[in-house]
């Protein structure tokens, strides 16, 4: 949240975005037609613009050297706090308003990777004369990047924890696990004698886990929070030694790890069972299986179970 007098006086704010997506809540004061502008900037240099996304009566996506893409958009009431979602993965850019049902997808000629975009610049403009306004109230949410230098990991609140949902609010630093119509988060819940990692969907206020060839909805769950982690590629049973144990199987209390895989243009998080060398993810009522996937690891610590809250207990 922009709070300091110095921040309030700036015409724009630059934020780090290293996880292929972010959410922002915005409310703008003043009169006349207005629109928000999101400048997605290069990771190598925050002065280089990769994409420019304008939201107002129209949705416009501009890329240097290419013709802009223009689409009719929702009527936005800027007098209230609106929550926008912007993500990029592969060749798709997705833009939407959380309160609306539709998310706009735009396919690009070139693929976008997490190494291309590293920052976002946020401004608002008037529609008539395109003069810049101050973004009056805004809240920016994005999964922080993990620094490569170990000494930079000593950040308050960075240690991984399982947290319960506090009303309708996401816990601080909830770990983003992927994207399916909106950002989804790493969660876990009990089912069939297991403690099973899965996905949390904030718009539905519930978690989904994969078990027994089906997707199961859970209203009692925990969400993984923290920043001391990274996703790494994995194949079959080649589980890294520092993979995070997120739960246990109903069979012999075998450890279940946290994995994610790509289905079409979506990225879904779920569980990894070393016995089968498979990542199982919940998707549209089904349990999908992947032998090539990404797994969540701690970058600087030996393998261990992470601290549990009072809601669930992993046998030790």
Question: Domains (ranges, CATH) in the chain?
Answer: 5-141 (2.60.120.200), 150-297 (no CATH)
Q: Of 246, 251, 290, 250, which is closest to residue 267 (Cα–Cα)? A: 290
pLDDT at 279: 97
Please identify every stretch of the chain with a pLDDT value under 70, giving residue numbers as ranges: 1-13, 18, 29-32, 101-102, 108-115, 125-158, 300-316
Strand partners, 296: 231
At 294 the pLDDT is 95
> Residue 83's pLDDT is what?
84
CB atoms closer than 10 angstroms to residue 101: 7
Burial class of 129 by CB neighbour count within 10 A (0 to 12, 13 to 18, 19+):
exposed
Nearest to 247 by CA among 270, 214, 213: 270
Three-class SS state of 272: strand
Query: What is the predicted pLDDT for the residue at 309?
Result: 42
């Amino acid at each position: 949240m922009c709070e300091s007098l110095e921040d309030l006086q700036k015409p724009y704010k630059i934020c780090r975005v290293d996880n292929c997506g972010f959410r922002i809540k915005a409310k703008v004061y003043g009169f006349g037609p207005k629109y928000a502008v999101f400048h997605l900037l290069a990771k190598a240099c925050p002065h280089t613009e990769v994409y420019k996304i304008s939201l107002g009566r129209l949705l416009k996506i501009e890329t240097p050297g290419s013709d802009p893409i223009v689409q009719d958009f929702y009527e936005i009431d800027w007098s209230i706090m609106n929550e926008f979602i912007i993500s990029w993965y592969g060749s798709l850019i997705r833009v939407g308003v959380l309160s609306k049902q539709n998310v706009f997808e735009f396919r690009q000629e070139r693929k976008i990777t997490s190494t291309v975009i590293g920052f976002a610049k946020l401004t608002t403009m008037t529609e008539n004369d395109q003069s810049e306004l101050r973004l009056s109230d805004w809240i920016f949410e994005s999964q922080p990047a993990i620094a490569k230098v170990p000494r930079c990991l000593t950040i308050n609140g960075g240690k991984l924890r399982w947290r319960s949902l506090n009303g309708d609010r996401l816990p601080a630093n909830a770990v983003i696990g992927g994207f399916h119509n909106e950002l989804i988060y790493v969660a876990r819940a009990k089912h069939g004698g297991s403690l099973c990692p899965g996905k949390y969907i904030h718009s539905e206020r519930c978690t989904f886990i994969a078990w027994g060839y089906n997707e199961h909805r859970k209203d009692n769950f925990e969400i993984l929070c923290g920043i001391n982690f990274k996703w790494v590629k994995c194949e079959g049973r080649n589980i890294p030694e520092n993979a995070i144990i997120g739960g246990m199987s109903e069979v012999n209390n075998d450890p279940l790890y946290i994995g994610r895989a790509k289905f079409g243009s979506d990225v879904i998080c779920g569980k990894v069972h070393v016995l089968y060398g498979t990542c199982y993810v919940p998707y549209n009522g089904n349990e999908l299986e992947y032998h090539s996937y990404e797994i969540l690891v701690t970058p600087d610590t030996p393998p261990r179970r992470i601290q549990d809250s009072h809601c669930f207990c992993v046998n030790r």
